[in-house]
Amino acid sequence: MIDYIKEKLATYIVKKNLKENLPLQQSFSQSFKNSFNFFVIMPANESDFRNSFTVLDFLDSQNKTLTIFTNDFRVALLPVKFRNKSLSFSIIEMNKLKLPTNDLIAKLKKLHFDAVLDLNREENLFSSFVSNLVNSKIRIGIEKKKSVNYYNLIFSDNNFESNIFYSNLLNCLKMF
């Protein structure tokens, strides 16, 4: 019961903070080619985390500048070539509602990117909120409940295996 109340309170706080920051409608025909600086939010799920490396490899092969946002204990699990491109957060930078603390919010609001890519397939209010704290015109996410409130380009997840999903996501990104 308390977890339910915490979740509803966290949702209310995020909604209140993002009211003025709703995603804009825009054309994405050249958006990927014109975006060079990406903020990539890594998945919380372990198998998704490992399978999403293909997306990082693809972005790197396209000469995109990456900043990879993940838990501090997961930086060592990233491929070596991406470890120095990581921006990590620790468990103490999450409050009791599992949202970013004020210090982390202030740090993220200073950042500017061409595009934000949230690779979480599961519902994760923390990552959805973080994707909107960073200054960016393009916010790419995966279809979840209320994802329309957080992203302006949403890819559908038809509950494929993790590796198949990220392979399909790559094919979609290549179209842009």
> Per-residue pLDDT tens for 43-62?
999 999 999 999 999 999 99
Answer with the residue of higher pLDDT: 56 or 2: 56
Inter-residue contact 57 to 119 (CB < 8 Å) = no
Instruction: Say how far apart CA 111 and CA 97 lie, in whole Å.
Output: 23
pLDDT value of position 3 = 75
pLDDT for 130-156, tens place per residue? Answer: 999 999 989 999 998 878 888 888 888
Tokens representing residue 69 in the block: 């946002």
pLDDT value of position 153 = 87
pLDDT value of position 59 = 94
What is the number of other CB atoms lying within 10 angstroms of the CB of residue 42?
27
* Residue 120: closest CA among 145, 137, 97, 88: 145
24 phi, psi to nearest 5 deg: -90, 145
Tokens 């309170």 belong to residue: 9
Answer with the residue of higher pLDDT: 23 or 140: 140
Tokens 């295996």 belong to residue: 161
Chain-centroid distance of CA 4 in Å reads 24
pLDDT value of position 149 = 84
Answer with the residue of higher pLDDT: 159 or 22: 159
- Per CATH, the number for 43-175 is 3.40.50
Read off the pLDDT of each residue in 75-99 and give the average, rounded to a whole number: 94
Q: Is 14 helix (H, G, I), strand (E, B) or coil?
A: helix
The domain ranges of the chain are: 43-175
pTM of the model: 0.88
Q: What percent of the chain has pLDDT over 70?
A: 89
pLDDT at 90 > cutoff 90: yes
What is the number of other CB atoms lying within 10 angstroms of the CB of residue 142?
21
pLDDT at 26 > cutoff 70: no
